[in-house]
């Protein structure tokens, strides 16, 4: 392949092309299979390097450069991950200040103002007279300040429509504590007692509802035990520290690999693994090292490849009893997922095949 074209492909991965160059490359790729494959391979390769960088320290030969980088701008490395945290903090700060100012403005303490003196008071009767300034609501309509918050307050109040529940929308990951609480307190699905194949082949299983009071009581007790175990267990540290960072692919320097496991179910079997984003399956796989259960994780996707994964909900203390490591799915190639941070659901279920 031509050197210039190769550079064009490389720059396209980094968004360095202008519109004309980008259009030209796109057109060429439509008719040139070799070019299309080159772009695809380059994208996967880039994703793989990004995934590796999340799993391992920079190569030793780059120590000097990395040190230079740290000295110049300590916050520069891993900017993608840190920028989200800073953006969130900044947004929260701006929102907090705005609300505080608005509340203070709309509910002012009665202020004391001194009226202009029109004539000198007698010396023995010299007293200062104060009067209360009018509250904002008492002002004439045209004089009342009308800021953004006033517009909101003057709008018709929103009345929820009870007849049809609004569709659920995933807005983003909850903070760890909040998400864990939701996982414990959320209404559970009605209990079921077994999984049995049904319908179109082996891809569908049906969980039948429990029918006797005894079964329901047993189920409730087991669920309560699971909830207690889950709430009592320490939460996973979502921030990967240097100690936790793997030194090579598949290893951790501390020897404490983070293991995902379901607190309520301990059986290790051959299982199928599905990753879902927004309800859609984006990755499937099979492993013999996972326990059945469901977890919510925060993933970062770059060039269709999972480059970072952090559990949000789930007991994830390190035990070498067959739990899944969050890193196991790093490097997985997803279909149709945009670059960025996503909230994903990992479902691990037994597979009769």
Partner 1 sequence: MENNGEFVVRAPDPAPGPERQVVASDLLDRVTAAMDELPEHYLVVVWLRDGEDLSYAEIADVLDLPIGTVRSRLARARSALKKAVGL
- Asked if 93 is part of the footprint of partner 1 (rule: CB under 8 A), the reply reads no
Which sign, positive or negative, has the C-alpha torsion 209, 350, 167, 150?
positive
| Interface residue with partner 1, options 216, 333, 341, 345 (CB under 8 A) | 333
Q: Quote the least distance from Cβ 45 to partner 1, whole Å.
A: 6
What is residue 343's three-state secondary structure?
strand
Which stretch in 101-109, 146-154, 160-168, 199-207 sits in contact with partner 1 by CB under 8 A? 199-207
- Asked if 51 is part of the footprint of partner 1 (rule: CB under 8 A), the reply reads yes
Which stretch in 58-66, 109-117, 219-227, 310-318 sits in contact with partner 1 by CB under 8 A? 58-66
- Asked if 3 is part of the footprint of partner 1 (rule: CB under 8 A), the reply reads yes
Q: Tell me how far apart the alpha carbons of residues 327 and 173 are, in angstroms, rounded to a whole number.
A: 19
How would you write 148-197 as a 3-class SS string?
Answer: HHHHHHHCCCCCCCCCCCCCCCCCCCCCHHHHHHHHHHCCCCCCEEEEEE
- Asked if 170 is part of the footprint of partner 1 (rule: CB under 8 A), the reply reads no
CB 295 within 8 A of CB 260: yes
Residue 302: phi and psi, rounded to 5, are -135, 125
Quick one: which of 47, 41, 79 has its CA closest to 306? Answer: 47
Q: Fill in the per-residue mask, 242 to 271: x = in contact with partner 1 (CB under 8 A), - = not in contact.
A: ------xx----------------------
Q: Fill in the per-residue mask, 280 to 319: x = in contact with partner 1 (CB under 8 A), - = not in contact.
A: -x-xxxxx-----------------x--------------
Tell which positions 138-157 bind partner 1, by CB under 8 A: none
Please give the angle made by the CA atoms of 240, 242 and 315, to the nearest 5 degrees: 35
What element of type H or E holds 301?
strand 293-302
Residue numbers of the site for partner 1 (CB under 8 A)? 3, 6-7, 9-11, 13-14, 16, 41-42, 44-46, 48-53, 55-56, 58-59, 61-62, 65, 68-69, 72, 76-80, 189-190, 192, 195, 202-209, 248-249, 272-274, 281, 283-287, 305, 331-333, 347, 349, 351-353
């Amino acid at each position: 392949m031509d050197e210039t074209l190769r550079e064009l492909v490389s720059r396209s991965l980094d968004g360095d092309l202008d519109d004309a160059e980008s259009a030209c490359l796109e057109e060429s790729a439509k008719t040139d299979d070799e070019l299309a494959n080159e772009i695809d391979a380059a994208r996967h390769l880039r994703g793989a390097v990004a995934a590796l960088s999340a799993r391992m320290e920079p190569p030793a030969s780059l120590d000097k450069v990395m040190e230079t980088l740290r000295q110049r701008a300590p916050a520069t490395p891993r900017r993608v991950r840190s920028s989200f945290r800073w953006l969130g903090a900044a947004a929260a700060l701006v929102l907090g200040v705005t609300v505080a100012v608005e509340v203070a403005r709309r509910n002012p303490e009665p202020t004391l103002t001194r009226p202009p003196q029109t004539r000198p008071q007698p010396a023995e009767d010299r007293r200062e007279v104060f009067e209360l300034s009018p509250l904002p609501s008492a002002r004439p309509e045209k004089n009342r300040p009308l800021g953004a918050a006033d517009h909101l307050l003057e709008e018709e109040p929103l009345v929820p429509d009870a007849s049809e529940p609004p569709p659920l929308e995933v807005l983003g990951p909850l903070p760890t504590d909040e998400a864990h609480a939701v996982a414990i307190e959320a209404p559970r699905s009605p209990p079921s007692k077994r999984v049995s194949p049904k319908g179109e082949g082996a891809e569908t299983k049906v969980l039948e509802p429990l029918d006797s009071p005894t079964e329901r009581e047993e189920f409730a007790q087991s669920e309560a035990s699971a909830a207690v175990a889950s709430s009592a267990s320490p939460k996973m540290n979502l921030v990967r520290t240097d100690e936790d960072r793997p030194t090579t692919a598949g290893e951790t320097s501390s020897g404490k690999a983070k293991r995902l496991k379901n607190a309520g179910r301990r059986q290790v079997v051959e299982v199928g693994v599905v990753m879902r984003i927004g309800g859609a399956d984006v990755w499937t796989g099979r492993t013999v090292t996972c326990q059945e259960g469901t977890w919510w994780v925060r993933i970062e996707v770059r060039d269709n490849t999972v480059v970072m994964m952090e559990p949000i909900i789930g007991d994830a203390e390190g035990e070498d009893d067959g739990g899944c490591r969050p890193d196991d799915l790093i490097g997985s190639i997803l279909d149709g997922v945009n670059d960025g941070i996503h909230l994903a659901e990992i479902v691990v279920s037994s597979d009769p095949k």
